Amino acid sequence: SGVALVTTADLTRTIAFILDNGSQDITVGSKGFLHLDVSGTIESWAVLSEQTGSIAVDIQKTTYDDYPNNFTSMVGSEYPRMISQSKNKDDNLTTWTKQVNANDVLDFRVLSCSGIRKCTVTLKLKL
């Protein structure tokens, strides 16, 4: 008799971006850039906060060579957001441009916010 074991490497990575405005609500606008070191397909997003409130975030990308110009939104009509919540997630990204490449630069832009002082936006990336 024999036993065959198959193992599969977890070929995912979580990209996390923290938005923090101290004791005040997060303000509208660009909150910073993230330079990617891997290529893959975005499978889902999640937003988590200690506070209950509302926030909407646009994520735009450009290539390293084109930075700081030519940013284009990736999210279609499905912005990472919370509406009177402290957590939210989406894994049906039907309107997203999901492919990212090593050396892409992401720009996290708050579109609106009420009642949220700090939150984390995460993207699950399948390599």
Cα 27 from chain centroid (whole Å): 18
pTM: 0.91
Q: Which two tokens stand for residue 11?
A: 């070929």
Rounded distance between C-alpha atoms, residue 24 and residue 45, angstroms: 24
Q: Could you list the pLDDT tens digit for every one of the 127 residues in the chain?
A: 455 555 556 789 999 999 999 999 999 999 999 999 999 999 999 999 999 999 999 999 999 999 999 999 999 999 999 999 999 999 999 999 999 999 999 999 999 999 999 999 999 999 9
Residues 19, 24, 26, 27, CA torsion sign: negative
Q: Find, among 45, 114, 110, the residue nearest to 80 by Cα.
A: 45
For 28, which DSSP code?
S
